[in-house]
Structure 1
Amino acid sequence: MSVTDDAIEAIKQMIVSGELSPGDRLPREPDLAERLGLSRNSLREAVRALSLIHVLDVRRGDGTYVTSLEPSLLMDAMSFVVDFHRDDTVLQILEARRVIEPATTEMAARKMSAADLAELGGLLDSLGDSPTVDELVENDLEFHRRIAAGSGNAVLASLVESLSGRTQRARTWRGLTQEGVVERTLGEHRAILQALTMRQPGIAAALATVHIAGVEQWLREVLIDRG
């Protein structure tokens, strides 16, 4: 378990135990970090992650609050933090992506127009050098959607879009908890785009396989760590 996961679990336990209730403000960051025995950076990452799934509400200049959701909804949101890791369905979806997307990428290398490839490059450029995790994931979803559409097969494109969207939370969590994943993803996307632009179907398919397998391998390791 990463230090960020430790921090998330600590905050979760404060809410589950009733020490923090919906609408309550979290203690000051230095005080809470010292109390939990965590670095301020780990605590900050945990707060950011929990705010993405609407467990916490970060109000600039005011503090961080537990969301005022109904208790059952709050617990459903928090359960995502751990429980999605245990869902074999997510792993099966990633396995399916690893089978389907290299084939669609190979087809796209033959069929995508120069204009569509230029727009795909513009999509990557729009992120800049230091995107946030949620910006990266949104861009990632669109990147794969456009490549699938570029295959010229509407059925495959629909399958890819459906499967890719169902792994969005897992990809977000990976971005928050695995070091260097933003830079790695950007580099892999650039390599895939280059293979598409140079009309190298086999290379494009191989790069897509490695790219998707990276998420799958991360999830397998998480499942092993969590037993």
Structure 2
Amino acid sequence: MSRTDEVVDGIKRMILDGTLGPGDRLPVEKDLAESLGVSRGSLREGVRALSILGVVDTRQGDGTYVTSLDPQRLLAPMGFVVDLQGESSALSFHAVRRVLETEAAALAAARITPGALAEARRVLDGVDDVLAATPVDHERFIEADIAFHRVVAEQAGNPVLAALVESLASRTVRERLWRGLHEDGAEQRTHDEHEAIWRALADRDPERARIRMANHLLGVEESLRGGTAIGDVPDGDA
């Protein structure tokens, strides 16, 4: 184990055993280096690594603090990893996203708040204006896509699930997916599928929400593979 790894492991142990908690200030550099048995240079390297991971936050002139340690912050680096993957890995990551978001939709249907449902409705209503424009503003369409799926994931009531979905469905990933969708009417079909998901959420129907989300995301996969999109199946909720 390198000295930097020893620092990372040592500070992690301090957090796990309760010596340090969210929001706590780390001991001064000299004392912390001595307690961990490392040089101050190695300590700085370890702290930098933990900062990248979202575990600590160094404030100029004030010291280094443990962050809130919330899942979204700690899992954010995974989004960077996903963004760096090439086109050959897009389907693999999307398949994982599909599994997670399908379950998130079912969970959300059972617990979504009226406010969140109204927020999702506002997002979808705004898409009507986007689709009416010629040409379609893909930037606005992607923003709406992100907003709608974020509402669903957040309403699942599981912050870890929501953070994973956020990491796997970043703006970079969505832009990459849309570059791979070449068939006419992809935007309208996506909007129709979002509407079907929203109706299932509004009806508090977990199984239908699960099916509609799976239908939607499987359609994206099929489109990327160059086949007939599953999302072209008529919407039985209409």
- What is the CA–CA distance in structure 1 between the aligned matches of 2:142 and 2:210, rounded to whole Å? 21
- C-alpha RMSD over aligned residues: 2.0
Provide the C-alpha distance between the structure 1 equivalents of 2:103 and 2:97, rounded to a whole number of angstroms.
10
Partner SS state of residue 184, structure 2: coil
Tell me the amino acid that sits aligned with residue 192 of structure 1. Answer: I
Q: CA deviation at 1:146?
A: 1.1
Could you tell me which amino acid in structure 1 is paired with residue 90 of structure 2?
A: V
Aligned 8 A contact 2:177 2:224 in 1: no
CA contact (8 A) 1:108 1:147 kept: yes
- Does structure 1 residue 170 correspond to structure 2 residue 150? no
- Paired residue for 1:122? 122
Q: Select between 160-169 and 104-113 the one with higher mean Cα deviation.
A: 160-169
Q: Structure 2 vs 1, CA of residues 178 and 198 (structure 1 numbering), >3 Å: closer, same or farther?
A: same
In the alignment, does 2:210 pair up with 1:210? no
Equivalent residue, structure 1, for 2:109: 109
TM-score (norm 2): 0.54
1:90 is aligned to 90
1:148–1:157 contact (8 Å) kept in structure 2: yes
Q: Is the 8 A contact 1:137 1:171 kept in 2?
A: no
Residue 85 of structure 1, CA deviation: 11
The C-alpha deviation readout for 1:61-97, integer Å capped at 9, x for no partner, is xxxxxxxxxxxxxxxxxxxxxxx99733211111101
AA aligned opposite 2:215:
V
Is 118-127 or 146-155 further displaced after alignment? 118-127
The alpha carbon displacement at 1:167 in A equals 2.1
1:9-33 deviations in Å (ceiling 9; x for gaps)? xxxxxxxxxxxxxxxxxxxxxxxxx
Quote how far apart the aligned CAs of 1:172 are: 2.5
Kindly provide the amino acid, as one letter, of the partner of residue 117 in structure 1.
Answer: L
Does the Cα contact within 8 Å between 2:153 and 2:162 map onto a contact in 1? Answer: yes
Distance (Å, rounded) in 2 between the aligned partners of 1:119 and 1:142 = 9
In the TM superposition, what is the alpha-carbon distance from 1:214 to its structure 2 partner? 1.2
Is the Cα contact below 8 Å between 1:85 and 1:219 reproduced in 2? Answer: no
1:192 counterpart residue number: 197
Amino acid at match of 1:153: N
| CA distance, structure 2, for counterparts of residue 115 and residue 142 of structure 1 | 14
Q: Distance in 1 between matches of 2:153 and 2:143?
A: 16
**Alignment partners' CA distance in 2, 1:102 and 1:132:** 27
Which letter maps to 1:120?
Answer: A
1:148 to 143, 150, 153: 153
Paired with 2:187 and 2:160, the residues of 1 have a C-alpha distance of 30
Q: Deviations over 1:201-221 (max 9, x none)?
A: 000000100101111111222
Compute the displacement of 1:174 (Å): 4.0
Could you list the runs of 5+ residues in structure 1 that have no partner in the other structure?
A: 1-83, 223-227
Number of corresponding residues: 138
**Bigger relative CO (Cα 8 Å, ≥ 6 apart):** 1
Distance change (3 Å), C-alpha of 1:188 and 1:201 = same
Q: What amino acid is aligned across from residue 226 of structure 2 in structure 1?
A: E
Gaps of at least 5 residues in structure 2 are: 1-83, 228-238
